[in-house]
Structure 1
Amino acid sequence: MTDHATDVLVVGGGPAATWAALKAAEAGARVVLADKGYCGTSGATAAGGTGVWYVPPEPAAREAAMASREGLGGYLADRRWMARVLDETYDRMNELATHGRYPFPTGPDGQPLRGGLQGPEYMRRMRIRIRRAGVRVLDHSPVTELLTDADGAVAGAAGYRRQLRESYRVRAGAVVLATGGCAFLSGALGTNTNTGDGALFAAEAGAELSGMEFSNAYGIAPEGTSVTKTAFYSFATFYREDGDVLEGAASQGGRSVIARELLTGARVYARIDRADEGARAAMRLAQPNFFLTFDRLGIDPFADRFAVTLLAEGTVRGTGGIRITGDDCATGVPGLYAAGDAATREEICGGFTGGGSHNAAWAISSGSWAGRGAAGHALSPRSGRAADRPVTGAGGAGLRPTGRAAAGPEHREAVALVQREALPYDKNYLRRGDVLAASLRTLDTAWSQLRAGLHGEGADLVRARQAAAMTAHARWMYAAALARSETRGMAKRLDHPEQDPAQHHRILVGGLDRVWTRPAARTGVAA
């Protein structure tokens, strides 16, 4: 076990993590960043491009931007947080252009276009920036548990360095969890690091989650591939196997139509044939990685029909995550902060997916706030010296079994089980109460078994903890989905297809061995 001491530990390596590390360092804190992969190349953003919710500070434009998602999100978003994110994102994107020297393109009028980012270049520059700021980066160093002090405050984390094949521990005055959401190892591009680890760590330390019912996000991908960039499919026509148009598949709720067709065992085809020449050229410039798969397969997506599928993106593109309790992205647990997809995005999206643009803006903004907040906490007199505090590991399932290790399932079996419950369209996407309840019972039993016996050492410990995190994530999702007996935002219930005014509130969820839910105070604007 190698020991490190720092003021702020950032767990993760994507946009939220790097912005948190940068702003904590600029606030005068010593910062360590621990990434499961190689910071700058791991995660969903580094694998592709993304739009950004970047809106100039013009009142009419800001008003339109905030109003555009309120209805879709079931009126659960918060205007104050929306305004804060728009302000912060505007400033940070401009900073990225000036200090980060990101090569934003210019429009026909000569003005810079800052509403989108190429992920590989964006994250390359963010890695350079945090290294220049003095952040110590631990690559290929997945965290396996948080550390807490005698008062229950978060005091660092422990993990495993894959390349060095050694355990490590970082004592810290504060921790930022920016580990991303959970896609259940579905195969969607860039999500293999997104197994819900941060949510598990937070719950073990005593934090709550919110919006976990808004987790049934599925992305369209060419069959047999992983690229789930879906914006361009708004220009597509979808077809059945016999060549007939699949009516309704191109509408706003079209993915449910595609899912129903796929559930029959039939294939669904698409052709992006409603884009004119100008749009086609703009698409290739905006999202070149979208077209790599087609180019390699010899497919012209504008002229040729190609088979498509749906891949689960869970809380990566969904909305739920760790509950935020303060403007600095505190979690309610002393010393613990959350940012990016690890945190709930209900504040700006309500109950509807943030897609790429809103989630990207949230990552930038929440990362910046969490980094500053963590630095302020760590450097305050009440925090004390991080290296001097006695610490205890907070981890449970997959790490400290309650029974004999041999009695539990291996991590592969645990992952396979949770995927059987969380990936199928007729369980997670086209939801019904009786199906949700049956899946939850299966997952509760699986949790009891892995809690009693799942264990690993070294790299297998990392995999065991991932299996535990995915199982916990699915249980929170389905418990919250059962508690919301209506259709609101993404949380669609086939057995409750209407929106219920009495349920105009957020749903909090938590617990490990016993999952609980409760309504939060009303928020957002009136429907």
Structure 2
Amino acid sequence: MSGPAADHLADVLVVGGGPAATWAALKAAEAGASVVLADKGYCGTSGATAAGGTGVWYVPPEPAAREAAMASREGLGGYLADRRWMARVLDETYERINELAVEGRYPFPAGPDGQQLRGGLQGPEYMRRMRARIRRAGVRVLDHSPVTELLTTADGAVAGAAGYRRQAREHYRVRAGAVVLATGGCAFLSGALGTNTNTGDGALFAAEAGAELSGMEFSNAYGIAPEGTSVTKTAFYSFATFYREDGAELEGAASQGGRSAIARELLTGARVYARLDRAGPDARAAMRRAQPNFFLTFDRLGIDPFTDRFSVTLLAEGTVRGTGGIRLTGEDCATGVPGLYAAGDAATREEICGGFTGGGSHNAAWAISSGSWAGRGAARHARALGSGGAASRPVRGAGGAGLRPGGSAAASPGHRAAVDLVQGEVLPYDKNYLRHGDGLARSLRALDTAWAALRDSLHGEGAGLVKAREAAAMTAHARWMYAAALARRESRGMARRLDHPDQDPALHHRILTGGLDRVWTQPAEVAA
């Protein structure tokens, strides 16, 4: 990092600006910690949640309802979820959503009986209120301030972070007693709505500090979107009939695994069309109330998606919609690295989803719950350091690739070339969605070579440094994904292998991964 840096001091630094980050900041502040939140964008408007609406895994504390909620995803997720964590998330989400209704005054709609319907949130209003809540709680918000690396002490504890403030055009550092990574997942700049800030930065920072990842093979999520648009609300397409260009119905596309049929048809160069003609009048009205942004493009183009056919595509959503992320080692969302916590899509969601996408509902509940736990845990850790502990510790930057090249920075082709290469290996359907061991191995070899090159030469200054680190994070993310996918020689959850189409009982375990210059994998038992 070159140039002078503006210094800030806090008990807890939260990196991110979505729901997990704001809940973490709020609960850390309520626990008595001084809190700085650094967002790559503008907190309250950046990220996937702020761009649309989301369901929430909100289930009243009734035994039968809770049992049904927990059982509903276990089989789909390959029985890799943990009932104890499921129950904790249901409890915490129920309390926090009720808190949002009362203290946050969120305007939940009323049902026919007059009771509020608390199972869904409109992203813009939700995040507007969360920003207001953290500001009232005394959190200092650094907008347009992407973090570029963690700061660590001589004994390996995380003690803050460094970054670049885009609008002020200055480098900055935050010295902190603990750090919460709530940076979201990685969608590889695919164009899916709200994911332009989701480049896997938090996972890279965590790995550089010594943390592990888990479930990275469950990362091949693709969302259905009208062609030429960015809105991926795949749940609505359960009401769709899909058609080939010649008007014939596309067989298998309307089933639970229908995206495979769509992907294969698109790979031929043909178009695929959809019409939401299986939705009745009540469903149509409910869909417009729940996700008004889904219909904006249709309304502007004069298309009625319930009666008119429209062309569709698939956009990669990676670990934003998948379940892989930073491995958690404690109920407070600790990562195993002293002073470092993870929440939301940056952390693995295997605990509640196993190997099947969390979708909006589960991921939203996870963001609320894990954010709250991480914020409280980080505040406790910072408090244990004692007065002045964060300020007195000597620190150093932990960042590597894209920040401190091992060779000549003059030889670098630049961040754009690095992004193009990784996108070429993870966005195509026949490489990432329709996976085969031979193809995974070829892609991983190409990504390993790309990593070695960018590790040796990629570098940037100012805003260019941010882009370089994003390119490094995406490349690292892709390598962890494919290494884990190769290690899972079966089809379980959303990790499907064309060369291993069946589930193997001997592989009923999670797969941990990590490493930077050399990526490794190892199995880990699932809690009974």
TM-score category, normalised to shorter length: over 0.9
Kindly state the Cα deviation for residue 409 of structure 1 after the two structures are TM-superposed: 2.5
Output the amino acid matched with 2:200: G
- Aligned residue number for residue 311 of structure 2: 307
Identify which of 463, 478, 482 aligns with 1:474: 478
Output the amino acid matched with 2:371: G
Kindly state the Cα deviation for residue 522 of structure 1 after the two structures are TM-superposed: 3.1
Output the amino acid matched with 1:200: L
How many aligned residue pairs are there? 524
- Aligned residue number for residue 400 of structure 1: 404
Separation in 2 of the partners of 1:476 and 1:409?
23
C-alpha distance after superposition, 1:82-139 (max 9, x if no partner):
0000000000000000000000011111111000000000000000000000000000
Is the CA contact (8 Å cut-off) linking 1:173 and 1:383 kept in structure 2?
A: no
Any unmatched runs of 5+ in structure 1? Answer: none
- The residue correspondences of 1:359-378 to structure 2 (distance < 5 A) are 359-378=363-382
Separation in 1 of the partners of 2:386 and 2:522?
32
Identity over the aligned pairs, expressed in percent? 88
Is the CA contact (8 Å cut-off) linking 2:82 and 2:526 kept in structure 1?
A: no
- Aligned residue number for residue 164 of structure 1: 168
| CA distance 1:125–1:313, shift in 2 (3 Å) | same
Q: Does 1:40 align with 2:44?
A: yes
Q: Does 1:122 align with 2:126?
A: yes
Identify which of 369, 377, 385 aligns with 2:389: 385
Q: Does 1:50 align with 2:54?
A: yes
Identify which of 315, 326, 329 aligns with 2:330: 326
Any unmatched runs of 5+ in structure 2? Answer: none
Separation in 2 of the partners of 1:54 and 1:422?
33
- Aligned residue number for residue 284 of structure 1: 288
Separation in 2 of the partners of 1:354 and 1:291?
23
Aligned to 2:518, the other structure's residue is in SS state coil
Separation in 2 of the partners of 1:49 and 1:286?
7
Separation in 1 of the partners of 2:347 and 2:460?
27
Output the amino acid matched with 2:233: K
Aligned to 1:356, the other structure's residue is in SS state helix
- Aligned residue number for residue 297 of structure 1: 301
Separation in 2 of the partners of 1:367 and 1:328?
9
- The residue correspondences of 1:79-118 to structure 2 (distance < 5 A) are 79-118=83-122
CA RMSD of aligned residues (A): 0.7
Aligned to 1:285, the other structure's residue is in SS state helix
Which region of structure 1 is more displaced relative to structure 2, 515-524 or 326-335? 515-524
- Aligned residue number for residue 508 of structure 1: 512
Kindly state the Cα deviation for residue 382 of structure 1 after the two structures are TM-superposed: 6.3
- Aligned residue number for residue 234 of structure 1: 238
Question: Which of structure 1's runs of 4+ aligned residues deviate more than 6 A?
Answer: none
- The residue correspondences of 1:103-502 to structure 2 (distance < 5 A) are 103-381=107-385, 385-502=389-506
- The residue correspondences of 1:58-77 to structure 2 (distance < 5 A) are 58-77=62-81
Separation in 1 of the partners of 2:493 and 2:527?
15
Kindly state the Cα deviation for residue 383 of structure 1 after the two structures are TM-superposed: 8.6
Kindly state the Cα deviation for residue 523 of structure 1 after the two structures are TM-superposed: 3.0
Separation in 2 of the partners of 1:384 and 1:88?
32
Give the alignment's TM-score, normalised by structure 1. Answer: 0.99
Separation in 2 of the partners of 1:94 and 1:478?
40
Give the alignment's TM-score, normalised by structure 2. Answer: 0.99
Output the amino acid matched with 1:146: L
Separation in 2 of the partners of 1:140 and 1:57?
40
Separation in 2 of the partners of 1:353 and 1:68?
13
Kindly state the Cα deviation for residue 518 of structure 1 after the two structures are TM-superposed: 0.2
Separation in 1 of the partners of 2:185 and 2:319?
5
C-alpha distance after superposition, 1:334-387 (max 9, x if no partner):
000000000000000000000000000000000000000000000114696111
Is the CA contact (8 Å cut-off) linking 2:41 and 2:145 kept in structure 1?
A: yes
Kindly state the Cα deviation for residue 388 of structure 1 after the two structures are TM-superposed: 1.0
Is the CA contact (8 Å cut-off) linking 1:377 and 1:383 kept in structure 2?
A: no
Kindly state the Cα deviation for residue 280 of structure 1 after the two structures are TM-superposed: 0.6
Separation in 1 of the partners of 2:39 and 2:270?
40
Separation in 1 of the partners of 2:514 and 2:413?
24
Which region of structure 1 is more displaced relative to structure 2, 278-287 or 52-61? 278-287
Separation in 2 of the partners of 1:431 and 1:230?
21
Output the amino acid matched with 1:224: G
